[in-house]
Amino acid sequence: MELELSTIILLAFWGFIAAFIDSCVGGGGLISLPALLGLGIPPYLALGTNKLAGTISSATSSATFIAQGKFDRKLMLLLFPVSFVGSILGAKTVLFIPQAVLSVLVVVMMAAIFVYTLVNKRFGTESRFTGLTRLSLGWGIPLTFVIGFYDGFFGPGTGSFFIFMMVLLFGYDFVTAAGNGRILNLASNIGALLLFLWEGQVMLLIGMVMGAAMLAGAALGARMAIKTGVRYVRPLFLLVSLSLMGKIVYELVFL
């Protein structure tokens, strides 16, 4: 497939912006997926192509957080395969569950997350992590699977869900939670991408063009999150959560 210069510029621009936001607080799919659909790409091809670009983005930001030590190695070794398997099953069942139903559930969950984070002003501002417990793992493992499944099935907001889980359940501050969230999002992206590749639902050239721009955006966004800390990540997290709710509600009501 040949790409016009204007199309390449649009893919690069929206890919960079999406990856910059996604590497900090998740929600990049709010930007990258509509950009692909706007090119007239069929929904399932758009989902698969977005996973290719998203995998490049999450791999880049994950590497940045890992290099800076802003992650929990033991926990990631445990949860990475859980997110991976969940996303494969989610991508496999994308044809069988009405997305409108899932969209309503996502709006409800994001609303609860937004209100909780807004009201609890010290939420995620400092680390409360004291070690892994049976309670945190007992909830963390199945929740990781569910979020991974959601990413394979639908996707937008996955990183935000992972970050919220890391802060609320395990007690990490927002920056370390973002690092853990990017690694788990990488796992879910890889799992879904492999399934979409197997089903022939990926446009490689478009995915690589957008992914190249995402590589730069993800590296810059991750460094910004690490450098500025929670004073930058927390308000951006709230903004992305609000944007995700607004987008999904608009699509449910008007589209």
If one counts the domains in the chain, the total is 1
CA atoms within 13 A on the CB side of 4: 4
Burial readout 119-141 (b: 16 or more C-beta within 10 A, e: otherwise): eeeebbbebebeeeeeebbeebe
The H-assigned helical ranges of the chain are 5-25, 29-37, 43-67, 73-92, 99-119, 134-153, 158-165, 174-198, 204-228, 230-254
**pLDDT averaged per 10 residues in sequence order, the chain, 255 residues:** 77 89 79 81 83 92 92 95 94 71 69 77 76 91 94 81 92 91 94 91 91 92 82 76 77 73
Q: Which structure tokens are listed for 199?
A: 């089903």
How is residue 252 annotated by DSSP? H
What whole-number distance in Å separates Cα of residue 119 and Cα of residue 10? 37
Given a contact cutoff of 8 angstroms between Cβ atoms, the answer to whether 57 and 215 are in contact is yes
Burial readout 68-86 (b: 16 or more C-beta within 10 A, e: otherwise): eebbbeebbeebbebbbbb
Which regions of 68-170 does DSSP assign to beta strands (E)?
A: none
The confidence score (pLDDT) of residue 98 equals: 66
**Which residue range forms the structural domain that includes residue 21?**
5-254
SS3 166: helix
The confidence score (pLDDT) of residue 193 equals: 93
